[in-house]
Amino acid sequence: MAQYTFEPFKIKAVETIPLTTHAARERFIRDAGYNIFLLAGETVTIDFLTDSGTSAMSDHQWAGMMEGDECYAGSRNFFHLQAVVRDIFGFERFVPTHQGRGAEQVLFGVVAHPGKVIPNNTHFDTTRANIEARGNTALDLVIPEGLEPTNRHPFKGNMNIAALRQLIEQTGVENVPLVMMTITNNAVGGQPVSMANIRETKALLAPYGIPLFIDACRYAENCYLIQQREEGYRDKSVKAIARELFAYADGFTMSAKKDGLVNIGGLLATRDPALFEQIQNRLILTEGFPTYGGLARRDLEAMARGLEEALDENYLTYRVGQVRYLAERLLEAGVPIVEPPGGHAVFLDAKRFLPHLPQSQFPAQALVVALYLAGGIRAVEIGGVMFAQKDAATGETHYPALELVRLAIPRRVYTQSHLDYVAEVIARVYAERQQVRGLRLVYEQPRLRHFTARFEMV
């Protein structure tokens, strides 16, 4: 029997959950072109679309919002955030941004001149799009185990270091302006990266003088999983692990909407004074002055407080425990998922869930639609809709190795009975999986098409 970890908080404010009928959901999803991004939130019962910007803030954070000093430059909330960034990450030079992609567009706007190659263990969709939009190549170099849903390697998010070395030698150091590592590795199932892998990546890059940037959205969950799974870290605090990890980094981007426990906000940091100057100039052009970066000062205060709360180990035990609980309940029902579960989400393996659907009929998207119809659960496709690429020369479509459905659990929002409901609905859909029909794409945009695509049922 799956064990549930006690919530280390009491609930002070509540929000009503919408309950809908099957007939109503059929109408809502048809009108949305079978794309859950186009559904109104009020038609969703359990919202597992994303863990990004969906956290419940604490009373301490809400109190901090009232202490926002809304002056244009040099607010006290910026200086508080600066002290927290220095304390947790050990970086002196940073700017706030409105969210993760704000940091990405500023960074790549400065370093990614057309024709460069930027490797990552696995790029997330916005990172890839920001790199490609500037005429660069975004390369994924995750270890092979990361693409095997049933392989129980403890750090499936790791970088393939041999492949990275080969790439640098073939491409030329001058064509690789930086290397990124996404922790946890969201696109392959929220899988963590080991400290050893980060250390080795840094050791490879140092002689070439190539900077290592961390995509730090879920760094606290990654550091907690290092504490739990990597030899030599069991007795270290998550904060001490974070300090060691960021000591290997030359910079980082962060969507604070994840492990910053805020509804909006991001960070961009570097150790390089010349790069920092360029970053500040570009930030002023696109996001705002360097002491607010596109955010209200009250949001900076909530971020400073949220960053500290996300390192509370009772919170992290509950948080990662919630993900493991849902995964175990699904495994008990025989549902195919990516194993072992990572830090923020459970990923259903749509290829094994719906083997009767070819990739051209978007099995993961079809499963997302089935979950919504069955129980008003909103999950998200991470498969062919998000990542398939058309070969410009042949017109052929290349599908990604994985067809996943991500059930991302918002932080501090849902309780055990919500997870039990989700597990029961998914088990029911799995028992009746032969009835799930594929989808045909009828409308798409050239970039980030999953946000606006429309489908019809096959």
Q: Which residues bind ligand PLP (CB under 6 A)?
A: 52, 99-101, 124, 126-127, 182, 186, 215, 217, 255, 257, 266
Angle between helices 313-332 and 219-229 (to 10 degrees): 80
**What is the secondary structure of 46-80 as a DSSP string?**
EE-S-SSS-PPPPHHHHHHHTT----SSS-HHHHH
User: What is the Cα–Cα distance from 265 to 127, expressed in whole angstroms?
Assistant: 16
Listed residue (270, 240, 213, 218) closest to 87, CA to CA: 240
Residue 24 three-state SS: helix
CB of 105 to ligand PLP, least distance (A): 9
Closer to ligand PLP at the Cβ: 242 or 429?
242
CB of 79 to ligand PLP, least distance (A): 23
Inter-residue contact 135 to 114 (CB < 8 Å): yes
CB of 122 to ligand PLP, least distance (A): 9
Closer to ligand PLP at the Cβ: 257 or 329?
257
User: What is the Cα–Cα distance from 297 to 79, expressed in whole angstroms?
Assistant: 11
CB of 100 to ligand PLP, least distance (A): 2
CB of 192 to ligand PLP, least distance (A): 13
φ and ψ at 233, to 5 degrees?
-115, 0
User: What is the Cα–Cα distance from 436 to 431, expressed in whole angstroms?
Assistant: 11
User: What is the Cα–Cα distance from 413 to 431, expressed in whole angstroms?
Assistant: 28
Could you give the C-alpha distances from 46 to 164, 289, 351, in angstroms and in order?
Answer: 40, 38, 24
Cβ-proximal residue to ligand PLP, closest one: 100
Closer to ligand PLP at the Cβ: 107 or 176?
107
CB of 235 to ligand PLP, least distance (A): 29
Residue 128 three-state SS: helix
Inter-residue contact 118 to 179 (CB < 8 Å): yes
Closer to ligand PLP at the Cβ: 127 or 322?
127
> Partners of 185 in the beta sheet?
191
CB of 124 to ligand PLP, least distance (A): 4
Closer to ligand PLP at the Cβ: 101 or 298?
101
Closer to ligand PLP at the Cβ: 348 or 429?
348
> Partners of 181 in the beta sheet?
214
Listed residue (92, 7, 65) closest to 409, CA to CA: 7
CB of 277 to ligand PLP, least distance (A): 24
User: What is the Cα–Cα distance from 223 to 238, expressed in whole angstroms?
Assistant: 6
User: What is the Cα–Cα distance from 102 to 100, expressed in whole angstroms?
Assistant: 5
Closer to ligand PLP at the Cβ: 81 or 423?
81
Inter-residue contact 250 to 311 (CB < 8 Å): no
Place of tokens 């070439």: 208
Closer to ligand PLP at the Cβ: 333 or 448?
448
CB of 98 to ligand PLP, least distance (A): 8
CB of 434 to ligand PLP, least distance (A): 33
Closer to ligand PLP at the Cβ: 55 or 361?
55
Closer to ligand PLP at the Cβ: 257 or 282?
257
Whether a cis peptide bond, with omega within 30° of 0, leads into 452 is: no
CB of 396 to ligand PLP, least distance (A): 28
The length of the chain is 458
What are the structure tokens assigned to 338, written together? 């990516």
Closer to ligand PLP at the Cβ: 261 or 436?
261
Inter-residue contact 443 to 453 (CB < 8 Å): yes
